[in-house]
Structure 1
Amino acid sequence: MQLEELREETAALGFELNPQQVQGLQAYLSTLEKWNRSVNLVGPSHWREILHSLVVDSLYLSGFLSRIAHQEDIRSLDLGAGAGLPGLPLRLLWDKGSYYLVESRFKRCAFMRQAISAMGIQNTYVINGRVEDLPRDILPADLIVSRAFMPWKKLLALTVSMLDVRGSLIVLSSQEAEGKDLQGFVLKEQFCYQVQGKRRFFWALQKMDDGG
């Protein structure tokens, strides 16, 4: 893929990336295409399809986090990071604080480390291990992000003890949050967008205070 071709594709999606961001995204997509031939990281095989169906979430998420997460030294966890989505493309546009990609499968961690190096992004780290075994020194988190890691009800139960009292849990979902039992969380903000004609949502949840 050519840089100008990639820039035009992201612009067509509604996102104007600077030259450094386009180069970083090219490095991510090229590395992912190469690894995907031997390790089943994502379903789509061509960079354009990966961009339009998967990376687009990261582009929208960067704007969402810019509105709700203002802390400069924020500590973020990306649970079940897999092929580095949404975290690695996200870090090209939203680079606040420290970002930890948590993944139990070794080959996916190896891919993410190579992609981070190729992309040239900073303060972004890979943790090869189970979420339940995270080192205590990076908890509680100020921000937790998860895409398709586990059903959202299980995710809420898992993360409630991992999140700072003022922190936010970001759930990427195909469903609206309104009307759901959020199990000790409250909905701070929700954002709806469309990908290939289908609605997707970000839920920004905060822990309910002791007063309910």
Structure 2
Amino acid sequence: MIDTAFTGFQERLEKALEALGMQADRDRIPVLLGYLQQLKHWNKAYNLTAVRDPSKMLVQHVFDSLAIVPELRARWPRHALRVADMGSGAGLPGIILAICQPDWSVVCVDAVGKKTAFIRQAAGVLGLKNVRAEHGRIESMGSLQADLVISRAFASLSDFVRVAAHHRAPGGVMLAMKGQDPIAERAALQADTGWFVKRAVELNVPEMDARRCLLELDSTGPEGTS
């Protein structure tokens, strides 16, 4: 049974999916709402997010994570991608990606044990067999050999590369979800690590006024940077 605090959320999710061109994903709405219910229920005990209002959780966490799905599907349409979500926290965007792409294998990594415990709990309740949680320091783990290594509001671009680049499989891609395009972080990334922003995609998050973007990072050189 869905929490009464979520009254009207199904309609808002339907409109958000339509705005993102994801009408075919309407059958995933019950699972998305189930995740939100788990997040609300466990947040007080686990301190998973500073956002307490379920309505804001819907926009700032669920809609924000959904906003990258059309781009990822367009760029990497093949099946069975391996995704590593670094500094996943409450499983964002990892769990949302796993819900939308059941053929992808998603690993959510976080250094806080209670957060990875929540991810395991939520994945079990929601029946997500394509999600696993890894507790530990990202830089100390052996390579996860992921096709997509992604982070959401995790660290600076330079720090992201330093701690997580070894988790890419050969030919893999590193993606950072950010707010407004971080010009200073771009400059520091190149100066500190030799990496570059190869591609920047502006994201339109339903019901959110703030600017969001998805950055693809590359180590090959400045050619093709945006």
Q: Identity of aligned pairs, percent?
A: 27
Unaligned runs of 5+ in 2: none
Corresponding residue of 1:92? 99
Question: Which runs of structure 2 are paired with 1:180-195 in the superposition (5 Å)?
Answer: 180-181=186-187, 182-183=189-190, 184-195=194-205
Report the aligned-residue RMSD. Answer: 2.5
Does residue 157 in structure 1 map to residue 162 in structure 2? Answer: yes
SS in 2 for 1:167: strand
CA shift in 2, pair 1:135/1:160, >3 Å? closer
Aligned partners of 1:30, 1:99: CA distance in 2, in Å? 21
Cα pair 1:147 1:171 within 8 Å, conserved: yes
Aligned partners of 1:186, 1:150: CA distance in 2, in Å? 16
| Post-superposition CA distance 1:54-85 (Å, at most 9, x none) | 21121111111101223423221111111111
Aligned partners of 1:83, 1:70: CA distance in 2, in Å? 26
Cα pair 1:23 1:119 within 8 Å, conserved: no
Does residue 27 in structure 1 map to residue 48 in structure 2? Answer: no
What is the aligned counterpart of 1:68 among 75, 88, 102? 75
Cα pair 1:6 1:22 within 8 Å, conserved: no
TM score, norm. by length of structure 1? 0.86
Corresponding residue of 2:171? 166
| Post-superposition CA distance 1:26-75 (Å, at most 9, x none) | 21111111111222111222322101122112111111110122342322
Aligned partners of 2:219, 2:74: CA distance in 1, in Å? 19
Question: Which runs of structure 2 are paired with 1:190-209 in the superposition (5 Å)?
Answer: 190-195=200-205, 196-208=208-220
**Larger helix proportion of the pair:** 2
Cα pair 2:142 2:167 within 8 Å, conserved: no
Q: Which consecutive segments of 4 or more residues in structure 1 shift more than 4 A?
A: none
Does residue 146 in structure 1 map to residue 154 in structure 2? Answer: no
SS in 2 for 1:72: coil
SS in 1 for 2:89: coil
**Larger strand proportion of the pair:** 1
TM score, norm. by length of structure 2? 0.81
Does residue 18 in structure 1 map to residue 26 in structure 2? Answer: yes
Cα pair 2:111 2:137 within 8 Å, conserved: yes
Unaligned runs of 5+ in 1: none
The Cα shift of 1:165 comes to: 4.0
Give the total of aligned pairs: 208
Does residue 6 in structure 1 map to residue 13 in structure 2? Answer: no
